[in-house]
Amino acid sequence: ALLAPSYLAEFPEYEPERIVGALRSLGFRYVIEVARGADRVAAAYEQLLRRDPEGSWVATACPAVVERIRKYHPDLVPRLAPIVSPMIAAAIEVRNIYGDDVRCVFIGPCIAKKIEARDPLLPPAVQEALTFSELRRIFAQHSLDPSGAVPSDFDPPHAGTGRAFPLIGGLLISAGLQSDPLDGRFIVATGRRETEEVLSDMERDGVRPRLVEVLMCHGCHEGPGMSRTDSSHRRRANICARVPRTSPAVAPECTVEELSRVFTPVDRRLAEPSEEDIRNVLARTNKFSVEDELNCGACGYPTCRAK
């Protein structure tokens, strides 16, 4: 079991050792913190930026952002940092330690991980990806209450500051790249709207930061695979409480080459309709003038014209 660090926000009612014990009761032989993979990924990003002082990169830890760029901003694909996500990094290290016959199951807050686990451009390191909501259903199906599970520790390799990855700016924290708020070398964008604004601006060469950390959610602890309804502040606090101030005594020595990957564009953009086409469609929805375009957003699009 590869357990994403957002589990601290999903299961605050249980001690971490109880969650590990519950996973062992389900039949998992090893339970590993994906935050260890985040430690390795952070080290690779630090090296990438050091090697390429003039480069401008988009972080690739969020698979939803990666898919959006591949499909709707294909011109930015060359700027995707050529580094795997913490999930893949953790799975690769687990297989190096415990053998290639180990079957890895990721458990976290993200539904886009299901696509990433089957990405043909990646090694088949992860066999399945589950959400926390699905894990809770599995616990219920087995009548398993984690509060009564035998406490157990995570298996090695152990995690360090990578536990901060679910937080907004977590990559910068883990890689030691935190900068002055007035320093424009690093940009953090979260949520669909803010992410789209930054990507569109980069496409127009409006901004060229050293690194853009983008998350389609407002932090991984806000992922759609979560079942908690706690406030964002409370979820963040539950994670922060377990983030060490320094990395483990033996920090992961990791190079970009060890965790490298490639990306290819999959252009899904539609041809821009003519003004006449737009007016005809608007007329079919009883919008004959600008005044008729209410732009209420109820359809899911920001304006009638956008729809």
Segment 132-181, tens digit of pLDDT:
999 999 999 999 999 999 999 999 999 999 999 999 999 998 888 866 66
Pick from 17, 15, 47: which is nearest to 256 by CA?
47
> What does DSSP say about strands 32-33 and 186-190: parallel, antiparallel, or unpaired?
unpaired
For 78-134, write each residue's pLDDT tens digit.
Answer: 999 999 999 999 999 999 999 999 999 999 999 999 999 999 999 999 999 999 999
**Predicted TM-score (pTM) of this structure:** 0.89
At residue 8, the pLDDT reads 95
**Sheet containing strand 105-108, strands side by side:** 32-33, 2-3, 105-108, 128-131
Confidence of residue 250 (pLDDT cuts 50, 70, 90): very low
Q: Is the pLDDT of residue 184 over 90?
A: no
Q: Where are the alpha helices (DSSP H) in 175-253?
A: 192-203, 232-240
Confidence of residue 205 (pLDDT cuts 50, 70, 90): confident
Q: Is the pLDDT of residue 251 over 80?
A: no
For 122-140, write each residue's pLDDT tens digit.
Answer: 999 999 999 999 999 999 9
Mean pLDDT of 214-231: 91
Q: Is the pLDDT of residue 224 over 70?
A: yes
At residue 249, the pLDDT reads 42
Confidence of residue 207 (pLDDT cuts 50, 70, 90): confident
Q: How many Å apart are CA 59 and CA 65, to the nearest integer?
A: 9
Q: Where are the alpha helices (DSSP H) in the chain?
A: 7-10, 16-26, 34-51, 63-72, 86-98, 113-116, 132-141, 170-174, 192-203, 232-240, 275-284
Q: Is the pLDDT of residue 202 over 80?
A: yes
Structure tokens at 35: 């935050």
Q: What percent of the chain has pLDDT over 90?
A: 82
Q: Is the pLDDT of residue 286 over 90?
A: yes
Pick from 82, 46, 8: which is nearest to 252 by CA?
46
At residue 246, the pLDDT reads 63
At residue 247, the pLDDT reads 57
Confidence of residue 208 (pLDDT cuts 50, 70, 90): confident
Q: Is the pLDDT of residue 5 over 90?
A: yes
Rounded (10°) CA dihedral 252, 151, 245, 38: 40
Structure tokens at 291: 């005044």
